[in-house]
Structure formats: C-alpha cells, structure tokens
C-alpha cells in the first residue's frame, strides 16, 4: 500500500510541474505571436508550432510503447515484371477466376478506387518503360550538390501501391541525392493496413521515416507537417500512388541548382487504374478555367515548333499539384501552403499563382517522368462532409485574383454564401512578398486564357489526366476480321437489333453464309487497339446491369481501351475473350439462338469458348 501511494505521489509530483511548464511555454509563445500579430507568417507559425508540438508528444509516446501488432506484409517480387515491362503479364494478373479474386478486386475499387488485385500481384518492384524523348535519354548529368527530402502524404492508401513507390525511388535514384523519404500517415482509419505499412517500412528501409499527424489534417496541412520535419535542401512532393521513372530526379535538381526560385514539375505519365499499364503522357502544360478547375492545355504554337521540344523546360501557368520540387527554404519563404484551406482542392492553383506573382517561376521538365494512378474518383471525402474545394477556391479568389474574382463568382454563384474564413494573414503575406497583380499574371504568364465573353479557340482538356497527344481521330488499324463463333453451339455473335443501333445487346444467332446482309451483320473487325468492331460501325462494349451482372453491348468506338478492350486468352483448353478492365470473360448465358452474351468469371467453361474466323 505504501509503495503504491509513494508511486502515485511521485507521478503526481512530476506530472504537475511538467504540465505547468508546457502550459507556460505555450502561453509565452502565444504572447510572442500576439505581439507580432500582423506579421504575414503568423497563422503558418502558429499552426506549425502546434502540429510539431503535438507530433513530438505523440512520437515520444510511441517510441516508448510496444511495436504495433498486425499481420506482416512480405516483400512481393513478380519475377516476370522485375526486368522487363510486359503488358501481357499485366493483363493476365487481372483475370478474375474465382470468388476470392472478385472480393479482392471489388474491395480494392471501393477502398482505393483502383484495381488492388492487379497492384498486389505486380509486387513491389517492376520495370516500367522509359517514356522520355530520345534527347533526354542521351543526357549525362553533372555532379549535383543538392540533397532532397521526398515527402509522401497518404490516407488509407493501398499498401502495395505505396510501397512500390518507395522501392521505385530507391531503385531509380542515386542514393546521395535522397537524404530521406518522409511518409506522412494522415491519421489513416484502416488501422490494419497502416500498421502493416509501418512494420514493413521499419524492417526494410534505412532512409524512410514514417510519421503520423495527431489527427486528420488533410493533404494540405499534412504536407506542411512533413515539410517542417524535413532536413533536405530540396523538398520533393509526390502522391502516394506513383512510380518514378529512369533518371527522374536529376533533371529537377539540375534546374533548381541553376535558379533556386524555380519550382519544377515532372511530366506526369498515366498508370491505368484498371490494369496498371504504364502509358506515356504527351507534353502539355497546366491551366485553369474561371470556375478555378485545373485543366491540361496544349502547348502554345511557339513551343510546339521549338526544335528542342521534348528536352527543354516548359513554362507552365499552373501545376496539377501532386508532384513538384522546390528549395526547402524557398518553400518556407514563399508561405508554404494556405493553412486556412481544408483537406484538398484549390491548393495547386493557389501555390501556382503565388509562385508566379511573387517572383518565382513554374516549369515542367520533360526529361523527368513520374507515373501516377489517375483514379476516376477520390475514395475518401471531407470528414465533416463539407465542400472543401469550393471553400478553398474562394480563399484563392479573394487573396490572389483581385477584381477578376468576380468571374469566378459568376461561374460558381453558390460560393456567395460560403464562409471561407480569415484570410488576413495571406493578404499580409502577399504584401510582404511584394507580389504582382493578377492582371500581370494574365498578361505575362497566361495570356491564352480568355475572359468570359471573349472568343478564343479552346486548347483545354479534361482536368482529370493529360490529354492524348494526337488530337485528330485516326482510322483504326484492322489486324483481322471474321465471325465471332461460339464453339460448342456453332452459333455466331451479332446485334439483337440493327448493326448501327447503339446500346443494343449482343446475342447468339445462326451463322449466315447466304445473304450479304446477314454476313455483314456478323462480321467483326479486330483492331490493333484490341477493339472488336461490328461491320466497322460500333464496338463491343460492356453494360453494367443489376446485381453486378454485365452484358455485352454495342457502343460508339472511342479507341481508349477500357470497356472496349478485348484480349484472347487460353484457359483449360478454351479460347476466351477477356476484358482486362472488368477482369471477366465473354460468356454465353444460354447456348442457343437468342442467348445473350454477358461477362463472368474466367473459368474456361464451354460457355466461354469462342473463336474468330
């Protein structure tokens, strides 16, 4: 009893002075800030100090505690993909052969918005195609006296995608250029996955630090959190579902070494979210519209005609925001991010405007390539359910756009009643840095942006991923043609309606060898892009029906693969038509005239045995 009482007294005696000391220090620090309240960095300093203090307390507690217990992730190596990039192998990884595959695939899309089944099977190391232009591939880089802190923020990220990124950095980058990789776990709620990532990092990497925000901060504040823990001369920000390409870092650092006020962005290649195929992106630059949505713009004519196109830096009015590099001291000098913004959205335009208007410049470096999984949706939202993009865009408009903010408000009238918070510190920052006007930005950086009502040819594409390099629609290249015949029934695939009727389902019918119209209605053309075109009019596509059932249908050909991509594979002696996006195979629901064609698990059953002849 005396020992327990003595211990309690001891803890009580230590705890009270420690609490008082921390409180007095916080009050003292807060009073110092209050005395200098009008300084432009005050909110940044206050938020940074709070985040760091909470982080240190949390880190000390975690260091003293026992390691987190969870199932360990083994290092996965797919030997077929380590040395050579192979699309055939990639396509085979997505085949859904049974219920376990289907569950893994469905949960992956639900939790991460990409095909986790394929991602897991790829493993943590893989070769990807060198997508740089030839002029870049022949470059020899001089010694670079800069090191980097690579900051990757994540929230509920799929482990194999994140760990493949970290391995790709270590596999593709000279060690002396990477001082540290900082993984910022923004208080993930999928605890098992977060634990697995932490344990794997601790066991396999010496240059990786994994830290956690004390509570969910969102991408914007999580990046500031990571940046204030960094010690490298250059900060490199990457999204958590990327893979870096050959010699990706050297061109970025070389450009910064020539001008420390230059912020540089790699060309962002496309990793297909369904198949994990790595695809070269064209050379485009960042823009925006008056609704403050980011867009990819075609290059101006003077840059498209430059003989050094493909190796020469490209001036860009804005950046997509996920991937860029800049000097660490310049990042802090320029005001980091606007910490009054929430979670995600608008921060890329805000920092782009600030870079240009406050004395820096923004460049895309064609000799640096990084692949990024472009998802069709964000698998997480604001924990409070608010439209953070609209609020954040309002802060951008009111701080940086001067009178031109009225164009934004006309495009987004609902913004008129949104509370965007206190922006006085950002306005003070703009004055402190002697930033130029938004009119100057439009005149000198982005003269191609037309004002509402002006008529200028559009050079924009979807803000989702870079536009295709060839704007003109090419005629598909036919590799073979014939009838798609179901082997066991000896029936042929055709449209249930006229051959030019979009959305018509595909059925089995008797093979017509007599009438010309009948032969045309059953004549399929296979293209080099793995399309199947009926009578060279419409393409075999997928219709998502009820209760997860998918039927084959005819749609306008788009040439983008996806639901219109079909591969011939062999299984159990059968010849199957496999759709990589769905992971399923063409199946006869009934092996009789009028039987519809659907998609089902690729089992190699007789209902799936087809040929083209």
Examine the domain organization and report whether 183 and 291 are in the same domain: yes
Paired residues of 173 in beta bridges: none
Which of the four pLDDT bands, split at 50, 70 and 90, describes residue 40? very low
pLDDT of res. 527: 95
Q: Are 94 and 109 in contact (CB under 8 A)?
A: no
Angle at 136 between CA 132 and CA 137, to 5 degrees: 80
Q: Residue 518's domain is classified under what CATH number?
A: 2.80.10.50
Residue 40: closest CA among 313, 301, 399: 399
In percent, how much of the chain has pLDDT > 70? 85
| Residue 71, in any domain of the structure | no
Which of the four pLDDT bands, split at 50, 70 and 90, describes residue 475? confident
| Residue 77, in any domain of the structure | no
Which of the four pLDDT bands, split at 50, 70 and 90, describes residue 26? very low
Q: How far is CA 442 from CA 22, 287, 318, 348, 584, in A?
A: 49, 11, 12, 17, 49
Predicted confidence (pLDDT) per residue in 217-260, tens digit: 999 999 999 999 999 999 999 999 999 999 999 999 999 999 99
Rounded distance, CA 391 to CA 395, Å?
7
Mean pLDDT of all residues belonging to the chain:
86
Q: How far is CA 366 from CA 249, 263, 302, 313, in A?
A: 12, 14, 16, 6
Q: Are 283 and 313 in contact (CB under 8 A)?
A: no
Examine the domain organization and report whether 418 and 506 are in the same domain: no
Examine the domain organization and report whether 142 and 227 are in the same domain: yes
Examine the domain organization and report whether 249 and 398 are in the same domain: yes
Examine the domain organization and report whether 500 and 363 are in the same domain: no
Examine the domain organization and report whether 493 and 437 are in the same domain: no
pLDDT of res. 70: 83
Q: Are 371 and 269 in contact (CB under 8 A)?
A: yes
Beta-strand (E) ranges in 67-194?
Answer: 148-154, 178-185
Residue ranges making up the domain that contains 399: 109-444
pLDDT of res. 199: 93
Q: Are 487 and 610 in contact (CB under 8 A)?
A: yes
Which of the four pLDDT bands, split at 50, 70 and 90, describes residue 12? very low
pLDDT of res. 435: 98
pLDDT of res. 473: 63
pLDDT of res. 75: 85
Predicted confidence (pLDDT) per residue in 489-505, tens digit: 999 999 999 999 999 99
515 versus 596: the higher-pLDDT residue is 596
pLDDT of res. 455: 58
| Residue 373, in any domain of the structure | yes
Alpha helices, H only, 216-274: 218-227, 249-258
Q: Are 596 and 506 in contact (CB under 8 A)?
A: yes
Examine the domain organization and report whether 576 and 427 are in the same domain: no
Which of the four pLDDT bands, split at 50, 70 and 90, describes residue 456? low
Predicted confidence (pLDDT) per residue in 535-550, tens digit: 999 999 998 654 457 8
pLDDT of res. 6: 46
The lowest-confidence range among 10-24, 92-106, 432-446 is 10-24
Which of the four pLDDT bands, split at 50, 70 and 90, describes residue 515? confident
Angle at 467 between CA 401 and CA 278, to 5 degrees: 120
As a three-state string, the secondary structure of 558-587 is CCCCHHHCCEEEEECCEEEEEECCCCEEEE
In percent, how much of the chain has pLDDT > 90? 70
Of the CA atoms within 13 Å of residue 334, those in its CB half-sphere come to 25
Examine the domain organization and report whether 121 and 244 are in the same domain: yes
Rounded distance, CA 396 to CA 442, Å?
15
pLDDT of res. 111: 93
Predicted confidence (pLDDT) per residue in 138-154, tens digit: 888 999 999 999 999 99
Examine the domain organization and report whether 425 and 550 are in the same domain: no
The lowest-confidence range among 13-17, 51-55, 173-177, 247-251 is 13-17
Residue 277: closest CA among 131, 106, 379, 104: 131
Run of H or E including 519: helix 516-521
Alpha helices, H only, 365-491: 388-400, 405-411, 424-432, 438-444
| Residue 233, in any domain of the structure | yes
Which of the four pLDDT bands, split at 50, 70 and 90, describes residue 280? very high
Say whether pLDDT at 33 is over 50. no
Q: Residue 363's domain is classified under what CATH number?
A: 3.90.550.10
212 versus 515: the higher-pLDDT residue is 212
Examine the domain organization and report whether 439 and 488 are in the same domain: no
Examine the domain organization and report whether 440 and 490 are in the same domain: no
User: Would you put residue 60 in left (φ > 0), alpha (ψ -120 to 50) or beta?
Assistant: alpha
Domain count of the fold of the chain: 2
């Amino acid at each position: 009893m005396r020992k327990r009482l003595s211990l309690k007294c001891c803890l009580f005696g230590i705890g009270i002075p420690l609490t008082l000391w921390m409180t007095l220090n916080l009050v003292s620090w807060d009073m110092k800030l209050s005395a200098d309240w009008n300084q432009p960095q005050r909110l940044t300093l206050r938020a940074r100090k709070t985040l760091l203090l909470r982080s240190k307390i949390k880190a000390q507690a975690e260091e003293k505690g026992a390691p987190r217990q969870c199932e360990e992730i083994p290092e996965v190596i797919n030997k077929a993909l380590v040395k050579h990039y192979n699309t055939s192998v990639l396509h085979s990884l997505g085949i859904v052969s049974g219920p376990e595959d289907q569950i893994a695939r469905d949960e992956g899309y639900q939790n991460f918005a990409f095909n986790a089944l394929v991602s897991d099977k790829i493993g943590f190391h893989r070769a990807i195609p060198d997508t740089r232009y030839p002029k870049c591939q022949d470059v020899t880089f001089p010694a670079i006296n800069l090191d980097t802190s690579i900051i990757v923020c994540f929230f509920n990220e799929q482990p194999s995608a994140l760990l493949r990124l970290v391995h790709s950095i270590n596999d593709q980058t000279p060690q002396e250029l990477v001082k540290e990789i900082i993984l910022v776990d923004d208080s993930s709620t999928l605890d098992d996955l977060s634990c697995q990532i932490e344990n794997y990092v601790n066991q396999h990497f010496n240059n990786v630090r994994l830290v956690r925000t004390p509570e969910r901060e969102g991408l914007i504040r999580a990046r500031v959190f990571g940046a204030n823990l960094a010690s490298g001369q250059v900060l490199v920000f990457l999204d958590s579902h990327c893979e870096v390409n050959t010699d990706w870092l050297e061109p970025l650092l070389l450009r910064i070494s020539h001008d420390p006020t230059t912020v540089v962005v790699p060309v962002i290649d496309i990793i297909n979210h369904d198949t994990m195929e790595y695809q070269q992106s064209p050379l485009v630059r960042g823009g925006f519209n008056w609704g403050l949505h980011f867009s990819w713009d075609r290059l101006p004519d003077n840059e498209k005609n430059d003989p050094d196109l493909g190796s020469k830096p490209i001036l860009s009015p804005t950046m997509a925001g996920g991937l860029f590099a800049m000097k660490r001291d310049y990042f802090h000098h320029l005001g980091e991010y606007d910490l009054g913004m929430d979670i995600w959205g608008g921060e890329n335009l805000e920092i782009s405007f600030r870079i240009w208007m406050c004395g820096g410049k923004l460049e895309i470096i064609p000799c640096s390539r990084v692949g990024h999984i472009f998802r069709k949706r964000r698998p997480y939202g604001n924990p409070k359910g608010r439209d953070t993009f609209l609020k954040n865009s309002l802060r951008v408009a009111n701080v940086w756009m001067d009178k031109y903010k009225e164009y934004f408000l006309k495009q987004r009238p609902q913004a008129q009643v949104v509370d965007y918070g206190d922006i006085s510190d950002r306005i003070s920052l703009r004055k402190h840095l002697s930033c130029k006007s938004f009119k100057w930005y439009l005149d000198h950086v982005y003269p191609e942006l037309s004002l509402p009502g002006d008529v200028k040819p559009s050079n924009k594409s979807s803000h989702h991923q870079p536009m295709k390099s060839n704007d003109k629609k090419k005629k598909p290249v036919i590799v073979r043609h014939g009838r798609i015949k179901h082997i066991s029934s000896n029936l042929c695939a055709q449209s249930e309606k006229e051959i030019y009727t979009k959305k018509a389902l595909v059925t089995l019918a008797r093979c017509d060898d007599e009438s010309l119209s009948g032969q045309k209605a059953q004549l399929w053309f296979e293209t080099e892009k793995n399309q199947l075109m009926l009578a060279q009019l419409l393409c075999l596509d997928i219709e998502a029906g009820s209760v997860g059932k998918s039927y084959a249908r005819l749609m306008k050909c788009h040439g983008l693969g996806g639901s219109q991509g079909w591969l011939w594979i062999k299984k159990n002696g059968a010849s199957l038509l496999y759709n990589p996006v769905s992971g399923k195979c063409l199946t006869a629901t009934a092996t009789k005239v009028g039987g519809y064609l659907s998609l089902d698990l690729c089992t190699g059953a007789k209902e799936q045995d087809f040929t083209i002849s």
